[in-house]
């Protein structure tokens, strides 16, 4: 079983985002969340699922603290859900924190790193997230860093919010995570 602790404190600036490797894709495909977040569990580990995650069109990136994989982010169409209106210019972001690290206050730091990366790499006026409405933990985080809901829709009986934040705004004051 992987360690549930990080041996160091980290800030958004100390996290590294790099294109997802095959090894990291395999690790992410083994992540399993507890209910009700098990809805976000990735598909079972397979060569096809790995190939999909490392396909450059989906822009999946590993997020590491030192050499530990703690999260991932995708940029572009992977962050969209059928039924949403994505016509306004924005970079769509999908993300996931390692299950062993959820609920520990680390999401804000990871999200800050993702937003800083997106602002640096992508020429977009805004960042956009699509989140299931039942995921109040994520919605509270997104609202705290300045995302605003712009639409609500339902796809396959699941209600979603599309949330947008200008990339010209600072996500929040720099934070340091406590060792978990």
CA–CA separation, 71 vs 28, rounded Å?
8
CA–CA separation, 144 vs 147, rounded Å?
7
Q: Greatest CA separation found in the chain?
A: 43
Is residue 118 within 8 A of residue 127, CB to CB? The reply is yes
How much is the pLDDT for 169? 53
Q: What is the pLDDT of residues 6-35, one digit of tens each?
A: 544 567 778 999 999 999 999 999 999 999
Q: pLDDT: is 29 or 169 the higher one?
A: 29
The domains found in the chain, sorted by start residue, are 12-166 (3.40.630.30)
Is residue 95 within 8 A of residue 138, CB to CB? The reply is no
- Residue 177, pLDDT above cutoff 50: no
Angle ∠(71,75,81) on CA atoms, nearest 5 = 100
How much is the pLDDT for 9? 58
Q: pLDDT: is 103 or 45 the higher one?
A: 45
């Amino acid at each position: 079983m992987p360690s549930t602790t990080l041996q160091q404190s980290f800030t958004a600036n100390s996290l590294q985002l790099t294109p997802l490797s095959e090894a990291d894709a395999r690790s992410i495909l083994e992540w399993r969340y507890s209910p009700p977040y098990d809805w976000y569990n990735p598909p079972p580990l397979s060569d096809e699922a790995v190939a999909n995650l490392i396909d450059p069109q989906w822009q999946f990136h590993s997020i590491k603290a030192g050499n530990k994989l703690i999260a991932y982010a995708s940029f572009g169409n992977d962050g969209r859900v059928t039924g949403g209106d994505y016509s306004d210019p924005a970079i769509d972001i999908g993300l996931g924190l390692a299950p062993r690290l959820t609920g520990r206050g680390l999401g804000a730091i990871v999200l800050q790193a993702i937003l800083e990366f997106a602002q640096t790499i992508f020429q977009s006026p805004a960042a956009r997230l699509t989140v299931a409405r039942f995921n109040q933990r994520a919605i509270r985080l997104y609202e705290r860093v300045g995302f605003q809901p712009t639409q609500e829709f339902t796809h396959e009986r699941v209600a979603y919010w599309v949330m947008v934040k200008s990339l010209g705004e600072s996500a929040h004051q720099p934070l340091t995570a406590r060792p978990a």
